[in-house]
Structure 1
Amino acid sequence: MSAVITQQKVDIRKAKPEAVQAFLAEIGEKAFRAKQIQEWLWKKSAHSFEEMTNLSKKTRELLEEHFVVLPVKVKEQQLSKDRTIKSMFQLHDGHAVEGVLIPTTSRMTACVSSQVGCSLSCKFCATGYMERKRNLDAAEIYDQVVLINRQAEKNYQIPLSNIVYMGMGEPLLNYQNVLDSIEHITSPEGLNMSPKRITVSTAGIAKMIKKLGDDQVKFNLALSLHAANDQKRDQIMPINESNTLEALREALQYFYDKTESMITFEYILFYDFNDTLEDARELWEFSKQVPSKINIIEYNPIKEADFKNTEADRLSQFAAYLEKKGVIVNVRRSRGKDIDAACGQLAIKKK
């Protein structure tokens, strides 16, 4: 038996294109078939070789013998009263992650996960109370986008307009798979979405933010800040102890210098913790270091923590202070709270 054809089935979406080309050459197929297979996998989102109808039956059978496609499947689906759809996605090894379709009047957004669980233990986030089991591979992230897009088209007759990497896990701790998934989503040989409609959100891994700059990525970057002084941020985000605000400031400046891409700061207002005008001043001081905008996010309670959402008048004063300073401020209202689909609520419940 040759080095190319083995008994062990290979995940074809993880196989290098050269390996697929070598396999096709060995079975006497033309080289251009490799491009057709890639198109089936990433442009047409095929989940079986049987679907690849421009390949001969014999070729499809040989592919089936030596390769495998490991698709993500929707295990459970919940519909919120505000039309948000949360899905539990079943992975091939029995693990599960959650993703969300968020429909509004102006956009259809997919919120996707990048890890099974999370290792960062942010105190206000349900996923942070889960153990990190493993990273998702690029195809598993890509499949979430495909499945959520199908939900958008089926339920609302509108395709996805935006993708946010804000589900379970820290995307920058799964760096290469996240970037590879975005390549398949944005490539003309893939889903052909604009990278400017994709936002990757990080809790703040300074060296990886710099790497994004070195790689000159075209997608948007959001930083989950939630406090603009180290003492408060340490309390709610343990990652801050090794990635201080000063380190993040330097990394964001480096990222902007390399990409000229505006940063989004995400800031949850917790009652009596980070919702004073002094907190707003600190946030303004931090945010003005780079061209940026601020998304103020409603807190969504979880049973593991006892934080409370700020009061409406405090939120108004906080936002007004920033706007007077010339900051672009968006107040984001939560979607899907009634089905635990809102920001910070994603977690696989133990049965």
Structure 2
Amino acid sequence: METKPNIRQLSREELGKYLTAAGEKPFRAGQVYDWLWLHHAGSFEEMSNLSKTLRERLSADFSLPALRVDATQHSADGTIKSRFRLPDGHLVEGVLIPTATRQTACVSSQVGCSLSCRFCATGFMDRKRNLSFDEIVDEVALINRQSQETFGKKLTNIVYMGMGEPLLNYRQVMRSIERITSPEGMAMSPRRITVSTAGVAKMIRQLGDDKVRFNLALSLHAANDKKRSEIMPVNDNNNLKALTEALNYFYRETRNDITFEYILFRNFNDTLKDADELIRLYRQVPVKVVNLIEYNPVDHTPFAKPDEAQVTAFMQYLEKHRVNARIRHSRGKDIDAACGQLANK
């Protein structure tokens, strides 16, 4: 069976050429484009200012494969986790994290993940496929709609911290950000977007070469190679020296914010010796802030959360050595929506 081309893969110019050839006036291209990227129409039928004939023609010539919300869970702290069904039946999760000052969408870039980080629920899933740019934009649009319906507020921030490694789906992630920041789309400032990576040095350098305008977060979680490789196999080919050089290159080329994400695991990376190693690394990279993240329990992992006294001691030691650090209390734990917990349960 022949599959129809996805209309959202067309540029505005390509759409214009198609419509002109179909005998339509030039302004129709703008109308269709707005339906696709401003109103995020889920079907041609929704495009109410187009004639029935044109809607039928578009439907005959193109597909409009949109994400659907398959299930939602509401946390006691206001966090909303959504499971999205992709047009081919695969599932991914996204999270809306509301605070007093922000409405943040946490989005996925892959179905599953190939990096197998030992503390992350997604890491126990196989990577099925990459998301296309329009599927990622759909996630953001649907979470933005949730935010407006539930809290009466639009999204203020987006983090690519859901399922998958964004830099291993480089082209589609970049295209999704292009669309989200476009004046013809959601017009969000790239400064309000953060892409999180487990540390793919070559692609961090590529971000620098591409002069991107969004922020970067490195999932660090251990500041020596032996420990990091133990929990993050990606470190075997992307060690801390390679990452330090790549991050410095990224900063020189873009001047964008860099964050270190550091989950504290009991009796693994939570001693003052670990803090010393983190301080040494912090001084080698222009890091804006170190986020200390509380560990969220995940099935099949040997890790546990340190007690509060240990976390406080670690934090105070960093502050004493003039490290700009903050403790991030995870949200949505009661619905498996917190950092490291996304697994399509």
TM-score (norm 2): 0.97
- Look up the match of 2:264: 269
- Structure 2 counterpart of 1:72, one-letter code: L
In structure 2, distance between residues paired with 1:91 and 1:122: 25
Query: Which one of the candidate residues 302, 320, 324 is aligned to 2:320?
Result: 324
Deviations 1:9-56 (A, max 9, x none): 211111344432332122112333223222211111112222223333
Deviations 1:231-280 (A, max 9, x none): 00000000000000000000000000000112100000100000011111
Alpha-carbon contact 1:8-1:66 (below 8 Å) kept: no
Q: Secondary structure at the match of 1:21?
A: helix
1:175 aligns with 2:163: no
- Look up the match of 2:277: 282
1:79 aligns with 2:87: no
In structure 1, distance between residues paired with 2:3 and 2:10: 13
- Look up the match of 2:295: 299
In structure 1, distance between residues paired with 2:201 and 2:105: 26
Alpha-carbon contact 1:37-1:52 (below 8 Å) kept: yes
- Look up the match of 2:330: 334
Q: Following TM superposition, by how much is the alpha carbon of 1:8 offset from its aligned partner in structure 2, in angstroms?
A: 4.2
In structure 1, distance between residues paired with 2:325 and 2:306: 17
1:21 aligns with 2:31: no
Q: Following TM superposition, by how much is the alpha carbon of 1:304 offset from its aligned partner in structure 2, in angstroms?
A: 1.3
1:256 aligns with 2:251: yes
The residue correspondences of 1:128-147 to structure 2 (distance < 5 A) are 128-147=123-142
Query: Which one of the candidate residues 91, 96, 99 is aligned to 1:101?
Result: 96
- Structure 2 counterpart of 1:297, one-letter code: I
Q: Secondary structure at the match of 1:199?
A: strand
Alpha-carbon contact 1:97-1:113 (below 8 Å) kept: yes
In structure 1, distance between residues paired with 2:3 and 2:162: 33
Deviations 1:122-150 (A, max 9, x none): 00000000000000011111111111111
In structure 2, distance between residues paired with 1:22 and 1:150: 31
Query: Which one of the candidate residues 285, 308, 322 is aligned to 2:304?
Result: 308
In structure 1, distance between residues paired with 2:165 and 2:312: 30
Deviates most, 30-39 or 183-192: 30-39
In structure 2, distance between residues paired with 1:41 and 1:107: 26
1:185 aligns with 2:180: yes
- Look up the match of 2:339: 343
- Look up the match of 2:210: 215
In structure 2, distance between residues paired with 1:17 and 1:105: 38
Q: Following TM superposition, by how much is the alpha carbon of 1:287 offset from its aligned partner in structure 2, in angstroms?
A: 1.5
- Structure 1 counterpart of 2:303, one-letter code: F
Deviates most, 126-135 or 136-145: 136-145
Alpha-carbon contact 1:103-1:109 (below 8 Å) kept: yes
**Structure 1 residues not aligned, in runs of 5+:** 1-6
Q: Following TM superposition, by how much is the alpha carbon of 1:291 offset from its aligned partner in structure 2, in angstroms?
A: 1.9
In structure 2, distance between residues paired with 1:336 and 1:272: 25
In structure 2, distance between residues paired with 1:16 and 1:158: 30
Alpha-carbon contact 1:209-1:255 (below 8 Å) kept: yes
Query: Which one of the candidate residues 238, 250, 267 is aligned to 2:233?
Result: 238
Alpha-carbon contact 2:248-2:286 (below 8 Å) kept: no
Identity of aligned residues (%): 61
Q: Secondary structure at the match of 1:54?
A: coil
- Structure 1 counterpart of 2:326, one-letter code: N
Q: Following TM superposition, by how much is the alpha carbon of 1:338 offset from its aligned partner in structure 2, in angstroms?
A: 0.9
- Structure 2 counterpart of 1:287, one-letter code: Y
Q: Following TM superposition, by how much is the alpha carbon of 1:194 offset from its aligned partner in structure 2, in angstroms?
A: 1.0
- Look up the match of 1:3: none
Q: Following TM superposition, by how much is the alpha carbon of 1:341 offset from its aligned partner in structure 2, in angstroms?
A: 0.6
Deviates most, 253-262 or 25-34: 25-34
- Look up the match of 1:227: 222
Aligned length: 343
Q: Secondary structure at the match of 1:213?
A: helix
In structure 1, distance between residues paired with 2:232 and 2:103: 30
1:65 aligns with 2:52: no
- Look up the match of 2:38: 43
TM-score (norm 1): 0.95
Alpha-carbon contact 2:97-2:106 (below 8 Å) kept: yes
Q: Secondary structure at the match of 1:122?
A: coil
The residue correspondences of 1:115-154 to structure 2 (distance < 5 A) are 115-154=110-149
Deviates most, 310-319 or 128-137: 310-319
In structure 2, distance between residues paired with 1:43 and 1:151: 16
